[in-house]
Amino acid sequence: MANRTEIVKVIVSLHIFLFSFASVFAITTQSSEAQQMINDPEWVLIWSDEFDNTELDSGKWRFDIGNRNGWGNDELQYYTERDNLSLENGMLVIEARREDIEEAGRLFNYTSTRIKTEGKFSVQYGKIEARIKFPYGKGLWPAFWMLGDNFRYVGWPLCGEIDIVEFLGHDKWTVYGTAHGPDFSGSRGISGKYRLNQTELPAFTQDFYKFGIIWNEDEIIWYVNESIYHRVSRETIESRGNLWVFDRDFFIILNLAVGGRWPGYPDFDTPFPARMYVDYVRFYQIR
């Protein structure tokens, strides 16, 4: 009986070892494939802003201004032109402040900035990434995202939206990537999240991370640094009876919102001014 027990223990131990080895091998293989995909030498830089000037390049960016009924999300901030934006040490800085501004008889208690490449630069398929450090604080909602170029003609969500990265200020360890389109928009967007290992890495509010997508005619792939964490395919969307609206030009947006239905709203502990730092934005295509 003792011998049979020992044999069972050995078999169980062997199974555990083989399972662990297979898991490690699979993770290592996936990591290697992800690195190869993201860092493929065939990627060629087509467009970028390194933010090395003293002022924002008006040939690349324009401002969204105002509050526009909470931007569809019950947001609190009023977006200004240039007042809440600066370029410092080769970085774009978007600053949200707790300050009053009045427009058309309405009083807004927060200001910030939203910039976009609409009408100046649009992309269809490739690799789009930015290196960003986010602000920490309840009710802060920074994002790096894209809208379809036909936005002004067909409206949202038929134009399509690709959220390359969104961050909720109260959770400094997690970011989100989401695709929105007709019948899968808002809270029904197809979303994935990436959470840092808190024991090994600094928070998204403490250091810069690279956030990007690889986008082709059949799929959108989200990554943080060298790790792929989310995929949305044409096949998946069309199998649900929905439209794949990611087959046209999109423009790029950077903003720092304050409040909204998803992130919640600032409290007395939310630190202001709050700063979102962007080291660069880059777009690549395969040569």
User: Which residues, listed in sequence order, are joined to residue 220 by a DSSP beta bridge?
Assistant: 215, 232
**Angstrom distance (rounded) from CA 135 to CA 265:** 14
Average pLDDT on 63-72 reads: 96
- Residues 226-274 have pLDDT tens digits of 999 999 999 999 999 999 999 999 999 999 999 999 999 999 999 999 9
Q: Read off φ and ψ for residue 11, nearest 5 degrees.
A: -65, -45
CB 108 within 8 A of CB 67: yes
Confidence band for 23, pLDDT divided at 50, 70 and 90: very low
Confidence band for 8, pLDDT divided at 50, 70 and 90: very low
- Residues 97-116 have pLDDT tens digits of 999 999 999 999 999 999 99
Q: Which of 6, 55, 161, 235 is the catalytic position?
A: 161
DSSP alpha helix (H) spans, 202-273? 234-239
- Known catalytic membership, residue 219: no
pLDDT at 15: 53
- For residue 215, which of 131, 143, 286 has the smallest C-alpha distance? 286
pLDDT at 30: 56
Q: Which of 6, 166, 226, 238 is the catalytic position?
A: 166
94 to 50, 61, 98, 155: CA distances (angstroms): 15, 14, 14, 27
- Known catalytic membership, residue 166: yes
Confidence band for 33, pLDDT divided at 50, 70 and 90: confident
pLDDT at 192: 98
